[in-house]
Structure 1
Amino acid sequence: MNKISNSFAEAVADIPSGASIMIGGFGGAGGQPTRLMLALRDLGVGDLTIIGNVAGISKTTGYGWPDHLDPIDQGMFFESGQATKITCSFPVPGTTNPLSDIEKAWREGNAEVDIVPQGTLIERIRAAGAGIPAFYTPTGVGTPVAEGKEHRDFDGRTYLMEEALSADFALIRAQKADTRGNLQYIGTSRAFNPAMATAAAVTIVEVDEIVEPGGIDPERVGTLSTYVDRIVVREAGDPLP
């Protein structure tokens, strides 16, 4: 099966309105599929549910972006009115001026923001990829995170039940792919991208380089081709992180 798409627009063309979309990245531009995000914005579909980690930090703080470029983050889908919900661990810094696009949309009643502790968020995604429907964690007990969730005691300690988190699509970033779809990551792109690749019905990958099978050291393969549906390579010298 040929998994290589001719363009970013082609790779996202079948994403419908109402879809749930995981977007990789750890913080700032680290491991973020920037070109795929821009293609999704240009596609214009709406009522999207976004699932990510640090969602609105780049545009409000410039974190992780060169000074000569305008920062891009997941808040772009709230600025454009395309997203109506986000599940994330850190939507915006505690105090920002001006407000992020996510917080603006939330304050105006146009978006739902579901905040999940970071460790719980990645474990919910990992569990979905592993076929585990739910798990127990002590994180969040006694806080608003615990509201409406099952509580259970193990060895004298209280835990919350958290459900697995999957999505219709995952947009992720890797350093390198082979033509079969095996992926190699670098730096913080290892944090959320590999788990998201396993937890979505369709996984679309933005890479810096595509090589022939055998071009990735087997010890460096971070995601197996089984989980990858489409690959798009960035142009050499692309200025965006």
Structure 2
Amino acid sequence: MDKTISTVAEAVADIPDGAQVMIGGFGGSGAPIELIHALINRFRATGSPKNITVINNNAGNGYIGIAAMIKAGMVKKMICSFPRSSNAEAFNEKFLAGEIELELVPQGTLAERIRAAGAGIPAFYTPTSFGTELAEGKPIEEFDGKMYVRERWLKADFALIKGQQGDTVGNMTYRMAGRNFNPLMAMAAAKTIAQVSELGEPGSIDPQQVITPGIFVDAIVEVTQPQQEEVLVRTGVIY
């Protein structure tokens, strides 16, 4: 039952070429920077993993985190809601050069597609995107006089998430807005890898405070002083 991993490098060692990877975070809040950078380090050392599909709310900022993955040439496709964030040069360069694909998904639809996968619901209907290019090729139905677009669940091979407290069997809490996409992604991936700031023994977290039960977490690693995306971007760090 002990799911602890000693290092972030070991935690991401099994992610293969071509994997579909969900990465938690809403902007920098709840973004697992250390896990992402460990994956980049592995790519620089071995050339793998490459051709990754990344699922996130945005396409990264500056040249750290997801943006650094894109800059390094690891990412084949982004599935996100906000590819054009305030500092998205890495994505913009690759996209304009035709070196990265984009699947644009409205934010609420993105969250619900991920939640549906975790709940075992293969499809659902939403009025969002009806009448726009995003609805082209998708089934449309009318309910109570209103048109709805059918959207499919969104699964992943791996999820990289960040929490505040965790225990050795994978139970997790989150700090404030760090909760965002992380709990949903933990449920929607075949394998979930988590980093937490505080790691304790089973029973160290009040059961009433557990947000992600350990059944949804496959590996957990302690990062006691996690870096914050906005701080790194502001100070001009290039990873």
TM-score w.r.t. length of structure 1: 0.89
CA shift for structure 1 position 189:
1.5
**1:214 — aligned with what?**
203
CA shift for structure 1 position 180:
1.1
* Aligned counterparts of 2:183 and 2:15: Cα–Cα separation in 1: 21
- The answer to whether residue 51 in structure 2 is matched with residue 47 in structure 1 is yes
Q: In structure 2, give the amino acid aligned to 1:233.
A: E
Q: Percent identity?
A: 49
- The answer to whether residue 212 in structure 2 is matched with residue 223 in structure 1 is yes
* Aligned counterparts of 1:239 and 1:163: Cα–Cα separation in 2: 34
Q: After superposition, what is the alpha-carbon deviation per residue over 1:117-164, rounded to whole angstroms, capped at 9, x for unaligned?
A: 000000000000000000000001111111111100000000000000
Secondary structure at 1:222 match in 2: coil
**Is the contact between residue 197 and residue 226 of structure 2 (CA under 8 Å) also seen in structure 1?**
no
Secondary structure at 2:15 match in 1: coil
Partner of residue 101 from structure 1, selected from 46, 71, 90: 90
Secondary structure at 2:66 match in 1: coil
**1:145 — aligned with what?**
134
CA shift for structure 1 position 73:
3.3
Partner of residue 89 from structure 1, selected from 81, 90, 105: 81
* Aligned counterparts of 1:238 and 1:15: Cα–Cα separation in 2: 21
Gaps of 5+ in 1: 60-70
Secondary structure at 1:31 match in 2: coil
Q: In structure 2, give the amino acid aligned to 1:90.
A: F
* Aligned counterparts of 1:137 and 1:225: Cα–Cα separation in 2: 31
**1:175 — aligned with what?**
164
**2:68 — aligned with what?**
76
* Aligned counterparts of 2:228 and 2:132: Cα–Cα separation in 1: 39
Question: What value does the CA root-mean-square deviation take over the aligned residues?
Answer: 1.4
Aligned residues: 224
Gaps of 5+ in 2: 44-48, 230-239
CA shift for structure 1 position 240:
4.5
**1:30 — aligned with what?**
29
CA shift for structure 1 position 190:
1.2
* Aligned counterparts of 2:65 and 2:136: Cα–Cα separation in 1: 29
Q: After superposition, what is the alpha-carbon deviation per residue over 1:162-217, rounded to whole angstroms, capped at 9, x for unaligned?
A: 00000000000000101111000111111100000000000000100111122112
**Is the contact between residue 195 and residue 223 of structure 2 (CA under 8 Å) also seen in structure 1?**
yes
Q: After superposition, what is the alpha-carbon deviation per residue over 1:93-116, rounded to whole angstroms, capped at 9, x for unaligned?
A: 3x76xx621121111111101110
Matches within 5 A, 1:167-206: 167-206=156-195
CA shift for structure 1 position 76:
1.4
Secondary structure at 1:184 match in 2: coil
**2:111 — aligned with what?**
122
TM-score w.r.t. length of structure 2: 0.90
Secondary structure at 1:26 match in 2: coil
* Stretches of 4+ aligned residues off by more than 3 angstroms: 237-241
**2:46 — aligned with what?**
none
**Is the contact between residue 33 and residue 226 of structure 2 (CA under 8 Å) also seen in structure 1?**
no
Q: In structure 2, give the amino acid aligned to 1:14.
A: D
**2:237 — aligned with what?**
none
**Is the contact between residue 55 and residue 73 of structure 1 (CA under 8 Å) also seen in structure 2?**
no
Secondary structure at 2:131 match in 1: coil
CA shift for structure 1 position 72:
2.3
